[in-house]
Amino acid sequence: MVQSISEYRQDVASKIDRLSLSLKKLVLCGAEFLCQAGRNGSWGDVRINSSAIWALTDLGFAEKHREFMEYAVKKLLKQSEIVKDIGLCFNHEVWDSSLALIAISKVDGIKYSEEIKGIRSWILSEFKENEKLD
């Protein structure tokens, strides 16, 4: 039996959707395993931790695993430093602080609004200091 081009495209689109869903489920299963293992592991690198939190929230992991995401954000925030009269930073680097800002805001922008404001203030102060912006 010969398929029309329209039927062929629908068939391919359906297969792509099923494959995409299967891959997402596989990634989430792997993330769950890593998160459980990570409770006893190292959460010492700001960039890696921020990227992991960001990725997990984008995959929908945070919706089902709020407790773990709160744990991860707390671990991340322990790596921050308060800079007097400026805000909150991570390793005094815009890169680290920016990634942390994205990750924390994705988990719960309202709950962590004060931390987010502090990080934003520090990042902006770095641009003002380095670029002499007003």
Does one domain contain both 58 and 31? no
Cα–Cα dist 39/125, whole Å = 34
Instruction: Label the pairing between strands 87-90 and 80-83.
Output: antiparallel
- Contacts of residue 122, defined as CB under 8 A and 6 or more positions apart, other chains included, come to 83, 86, 87, 88, 89, 97
Contact 59, 24 (CB under 8 A): yes
Please write down the long-range contacts of 63-72, taking CB distance under 8 Å and 24 or more positions apart.
65/32, 65/35, 68/35, 68/39, 69/107, 70/107, 71/39, 72/35, 72/43, 72/107
Cα-to-chain-centroid distance, residue 66: 13
pLDDT per position in the chain (134 positions), as tens?
A: 677 888 888 888 888 888 888 877 777 776 666 666 655 555 668 898 898 899 889 888 888 888 888 988 998 999 999 999 999 999 999 999 999 999 999 999 899 999 999 999 999 998 876 665 44
- 70 and 133 co-located in one domain: yes
117 in Cβ contact with 88 (< 8 Å): no
97 and 79 in a common domain: yes
- Are 112 and 96 in the same domain? yes
- For residue 27, the enclosing domain spans 1-41
Strand pairing partners for 80? 90
Total number of domains in the chain? 2
Looking at the fold, whether 19 and 69 belong to one and the same domain comes out as: no
> Same structural domain for residues 111 and 73?
yes
Are 69 and 56 contacting, i.e. CB atoms less than 8 angstroms apart? yes
Same domain, 6 and 56: no
Please give the Cα distance from 120 to 20 (Å, whole number).
Answer: 35
Residues 79 and 22 in one domain: no
37 and 65 within one domain:
no
